Structures are given as structure tokens and as C-alpha cells.
Amino acid sequence: MESSIPSRVILSGASGMLGVAIQRALKAKSISTLQLVRRKPAGAGELEWDPAAEPAIPDLAPLEGAIAAIHLSGANVGARRWTESYTREMIASRVASTQNLSTSLAGLQNRPKTLLVASAIGFYGNRGNEVLNESSQNGDGFLAGLCHAWEAAADPARQAGIRVVHMRFGVVLGSEGALRQMLPPFRIGLGARIGDGLQWMSWISLKDAVLAVLFALEDKRISGPVNVTSPNPVTNAEFTRALGRELGRPAFLSVPSFAVRLMFGKMADEALLSSTRAVPRKLMDAGFRFSEPNLNQALASALRT
């Protein structure tokens, strides 16, 4: 297939683990980025915006000529307890920012051809052992509702003829993010499964997450929701054993469900104890090849960096 990766990409959330890796990959391909930042710009490659404001970007001129945009901004779901104020922040940082960016892109004279918007497999909710692909229905609960609204917020761009792709990320395994939070207890031999450990965990290596984003930029056949996960999800118990093996530490403990709920509140049932067995059917059908499809490969790679 002839490459159609754009020469300039608008990028929000560039300071996060995934954003940094995507920017590095684009730079390696001589593709420039215009980073949307919430502070005074440090140079010509940055543009200040207020994702919660209307308009988010008062002067749209710098956006003209970009052929694609990648929107990764959003408050970290696992950063703190889901208090009432933090749930409002999660909604605003995802739904409002996507709505406002989509409206800005739709208002350009020379619109980007593609908008990739971060989403999450939380869209499906707690589904037990059910194998979930992109045609599976929306689940129940706060996180599922948030993801549904997050994706719907891109409608202004879609209605303007922009190809919109909702990247439903699983747990991205890299040197930062969720894995970094897990490592301290595992390194001292206190790694533990959560609850009964039977809940499914859909994950993807950082390397493959970046490759999937580039693939979706290039392949014009891809639109709508895309599960950005490994084809080999594992249970929490399997993940716990695998991480313990990679670190050479025992991982036989368990944290009871009631204790998880006491520690994390509402987040416990919707994120830590929730079972989501998502598979990347669209990516596989389109011919995407995973470089690290197995958990041991992905963990070894993440722990080396």
C-alpha cells in the first residue's frame, strides 16, 4: 500500500508516555508536529489552547495545512479516587476537549483528512469472559458512559467529512504509566493479584500502540472504533504471574475485592476488578502485524527501557 502518512500532524497530549513515543516515531519519519499545549508556547512547534473553552483555539490559522490530528489529552483515570470533582474533571478533559477540538478542525478552510481520538476499552464495561470486538455494544457504568460520550463528541469533525478513528486503548505497557505504578510492590516480592484474578486484562505494548496509531493514520480504510490491544488478553492472575517471573520475584499474594473497594472506591469495580476481554479485530483484518503480541515479550521490552 502506498504511504499516505501526513507531513504535519496536530498533536494534543504530547507530554504523556504515548504522546512522547508517537512524536518520536513521527519525527523519525520526518513528519513534523504542532503540539497543542495549555501553557505559553516554547516555540513554533507549539500552539496554546484551552481544551475546556469555546473556542478552544481562538486563532485557527496555525492549524491550516495539517492533514491529520491526534488527540490524546485527558485526565488519568487511575490517578486518584473518583471523587465527584475528579469525575467532572475526567468528563471535561475528554468530552469537552474532543468536542471543542473537533469543532475547531471542522471550521478550517483546509481541514485535516484524519482525526485520531484516544478512547478506551472501558467503553465495553465489565463483561466477564465475553470476547469483545469493535462491533460489541457499549457497556454499563460511569467509565463506559464516559467513553461513549467521548467518542460521540467527535461528531463535528465527522460531519465535516473528516475520517475519525476512535483508538480504544487497553493498558499500554511501557516504562511509565500503569506498569510503573505496579512495579514497587512487585520488586520487593509483594506483587499480588487483584480479587480472584479471573478478570480479563486487555493490554498492548507501547511499541505496538505507536505502530497501531501510525497504521491508522496511513490506512484510509480504517474509521470508527479500533481496539488498540494485543490479540492475546490475559487474566489479572496471569498478568501477575508473568510480571513476577520477569522481575524474578514471587507473586503469590492476593488483595481481596473488599480491600480494593475500600482503597479505591468506585474506581475499584469499574477499572481494577472489571473484566474486559477485547480483541483487535479491525487491526488484524486490515493486516496490522504486532511486533510484541505476547505478554512476556511486552514486559521484557518495557522493563528494559
Q: How far apart are CA 108 and CA 91, in angstroms?
A: 26
What average pLDDT score do residues 131-136 get?
98
**pLDDT of the residue at 251:** 83
Q: How far apart are CA 133 and CA 111, in angstroms?
A: 30
Architecture of domain 8-177+203-229+279-290: 3-Layer(aba) Sandwich (3.40)
* Residue that the C-alpha cell 457497556 belongs to: 139
Q: How far apart are CA 206 and CA 229, in angstroms?
A: 10
pLDDT band at 119 (very low <50, low <70, confident <90, very high): very high
pLDDT band at 5 (very low <50, low <70, confident <90, very high): low
pLDDT band at 125 (very low <50, low <70, confident <90, very high): very high
* Residue that the C-alpha cell 512522547 belongs to: 20
What average pLDDT score do residues 117-144 get?
96
**pLDDT of the residue at 191:** 85
For residue 190, give the nearest of 249, 256, 264 by alpha carbon: 249
Q: What are the pLDDT digits (tens) for 285-304?
A: 999 999 999 999 999 999 98
Q: What are the pLDDT digits (tens) for 186-208?
A: 888 878 889 999 999 999 999 99
Q: How far apart are CA 210 and CA 204, in angstroms?
A: 10
Domain ranges of the chain: 8-177+203-229+279-290
3-state secondary structure of 269: helix
CB 168 within 8 A of CB 227: yes
Determine how β-strand 163-169 pairs with β-strand 68-71.
unpaired
Q: Between these two residues, 157 and 179, which has the higher pLDDT value?
A: 157
Least confident piece of the model among 17-21, 177-181, 238-242 = 177-181
Q: How far apart are CA 82 and CA 182, in angstroms?
A: 19
**pLDDT of the residue at 1:** 40
pLDDT band at 47 (very low <50, low <70, confident <90, very high): very high
3-state secondary structure of 86: helix
Mean pLDDT for the chain?
Answer: 92
Compute and round to an integer the Cα radius of gyration of the chain. 19
Q: How far apart are CA 51 and CA 19, in angstroms?
A: 17
3-state secondary structure of 246: helix
Indicate if the pLDDT at residue 305 is higher than 80.
no
Indicate if the pLDDT at residue 264 is higher than 50.
yes
